[in-house]
């Protein structure tokens, strides 16, 4: 395995789990990023503040990590801008179709033993694996 990073992966997982637990504890909400962001785009009264701080925290945390550990973000992008935009749109569509994203279903839903979230996460993972295999095998890893 060329990208085996057990320490940073474990720390990242712990931070994601902690943030999900804190959102549930203090807001009584699931820490699904797509739902949090959607709540900012179509806000309900009293819902903007915590959602905005959560998203700002994600962005600031990423910016701090780029400064502190830039090699962690050293990835070569081999996809065309069109492929990246298309992938983003497909992910957004799938997120709405599946009523949530991997953070909401995969982290929060599975930890609550939600059957719907378990099925959704298995679907996400299987589709991702299939897509990666097809792109690698039929398109030489580049699309």
Mean pLDDT calculated for residue range 68-96: 85
Both 82 and 127 in a single domain? yes
Both 50 and 82 in a single domain? no
Using an 8 Å Cβ cutoff, are 142 and 78 in contact?
A: yes
Both 64 and 14 in a single domain? yes
Q: Which of 75, 102, 124 is the last residue of a domain?
A: 75
Q: Which of 75, 100, 127 is the last residue of a domain?
A: 75
Measured CA to CA, the distance from residue 106 to residue 109 in angstroms comes to 6
Residue 83: band (very low, low, confident or very high) from pLDDT cuts 50, 70, 90 = confident
Residue 106 has what DSSP assignment? Answer: I
Both 39 and 59 in a single domain? yes
Domain count, the chain: 2
Does residue 33 surpass a pLDDT of 80? Answer: yes
Q: Which of 75, 103, 127 is the last residue of a domain?
A: 75
**Which residues have a Cβ under 8 Å from the Cβ of 135 and sit 6 or more positions away?**
141, 142, 143
Both 36 and 53 in a single domain? yes
In this predicted structure, what is the pLDDT of residue 111? 86
Using the structure block, give the residue that is written with the tokens 């962005």.
59
Both 104 and 139 in a single domain? yes
Residue 1: band (very low, low, confident or very high) from pLDDT cuts 50, 70, 90 = low
Both 5 and 68 in a single domain? yes
Domain containing 124 equals: 78-143
State both tokens at 119. 């099925």
- In 1-143, alpha helices (H): 6-27, 33-41, 48-68, 81-97, 110-111, 115-139
Both 90 and 63 in a single domain? no
Residue 142: band (very low, low, confident or very high) from pLDDT cuts 50, 70, 90 = low
Dihedral of the CA atoms 28, 32, 38, 39 (nearest 10)?
10
Does residue 64 surpass a pLDDT of 90? Answer: yes
Closest C-alpha to 31, from 93, 121, 102, 99? 102
Both 63 and 9 in a single domain? yes
pTM for this predicted structure: 0.73
Both 103 and 122 in a single domain? yes
Both 28 and 71 in a single domain? yes
**Which residues have a Cβ under 8 Å from the Cβ of 52 and sit 6 or more positions away?**
40
**Which residues have a Cβ under 8 Å from the Cβ of 77 and sit 6 or more positions away?**
84
């Amino acid at each position: 395995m060329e990208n085996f990073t057990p320490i940073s992966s474990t720390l990242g997982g712990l931070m994601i789990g902690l943030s999900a637990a804190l959102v549930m504890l203090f807001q009584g909400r699931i820490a699904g990023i797509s739902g949090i962001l959607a709540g900012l785009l179509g806000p309900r009264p009293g819902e903007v503040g915590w959602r905005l701080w959560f998203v700002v925290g994600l962005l600031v945390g990423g910016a701090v990590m780029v400064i502190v550990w830039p090699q962690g973000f050293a990835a070569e992008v081999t996809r065309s801008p069109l492929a990246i935009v298309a992938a983003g749109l497909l992910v957004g569509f799938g997120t709405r179709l599946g009523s949530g994203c991997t953070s909401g279903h995969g982290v929060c839903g599975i930890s609550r033993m939600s059957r719907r979230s378990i099925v959704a996460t298995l679907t996400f993972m299987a589709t991702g694996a299939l897509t990666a295999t097809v792109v690698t095998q039929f398109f030489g890893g580049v699309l």
